[in-house]
Amino acid sequence: MYRVKPPTQRLFGYSTVSTHDDTDAKQQERKLIAAGCSAVYLDLSKAARQERPELDELLDDLRPGDTVIVCALNRIARGTRELLDVMERLRLMGGHLVSLSEPWLHTARHGGVLFEFFQGLSAFERSLIQEITRNGRSRAKKQGIRFGRPPTLSIAELKKARRLLDAEGYTVAQTADHLGVHRTTLYRALTRNGKAGEG
């Protein structure tokens, strides 16, 4: 079994596991204890929730020189941005992060370089996404695609609204009630299409 030898005072294990996979939890706990962890903090992974109380408690309890050990990086972070956040919290308190599956991470001498690398990678990913989004919106606009919320009233409903207002003497309030929308919504739709009524 691979055993961690970082420059540390204390070793703590951390992991997230599925609420339905007790076997995985036990396997990870065994690996972390074998790596020298004196305690293992475990959060249950729930798709609809972002809170991880055990991780927060672990980070709050750390002292300078302590090390957090995980079986794999995806057990402590769900993306580059989240990994950067955890690494920054550890850096500020003088802690270390070790991954049993990614041994290149915990070379203390290169920790700062790796952190800067991840920061640069995260910024690069954001710039790529922004550029792709801008280019996509530009192409879509050239093709006549409109952005924003779709119209509340269809063209057919607007035609009906005009008929009710012009030919049948409905007020805007009565017409809006007939169409099942708020009066303000009808006003805006009519104004956008060049016809505002009274009432």
* Catalytic member of 15, 18, 38, 154: 18
| Distance (Å, whole) CA 117 – CA 106 | 14
Q: Give me the average pLDDT of each 10-residue run along the chain (199 residues).
A: 57 85 85 94 72 88 91 85 83 86 64 63 70 79 67 80 84 85 81 55
- Domain stops at, among 109, 140, 163: 109
| Distance (Å, whole) CA 178 – CA 156 | 14
Contacts of 98 (CB under 8 A, 6+ apart): 4, 6, 35, 67, 68, 69, 70, 105, 106
Task: Establish whether 18 is a catalytic residue.
Answer: yes
For residues 15 and 78, state if they share a domain: yes
Alpha carbons within 13 A on the beta-carbon side of 114: 19
Q: Are 68 and 12 in contact (CB under 8 A)?
A: yes
The whole-model pTM stands at: 0.54
- Domain stops at, among 40, 74, 109: 109
Which two tokens mark 33? 């204890």
Specify the pLDDT at position 129.
79
For residues 160 and 105, state if they share a domain: no
Instruction: Tell me the residue range of the domain where 27 lies.
Output: 11-109
CA dihedral 124, 126, 131, 136 (to 10 degrees): 140
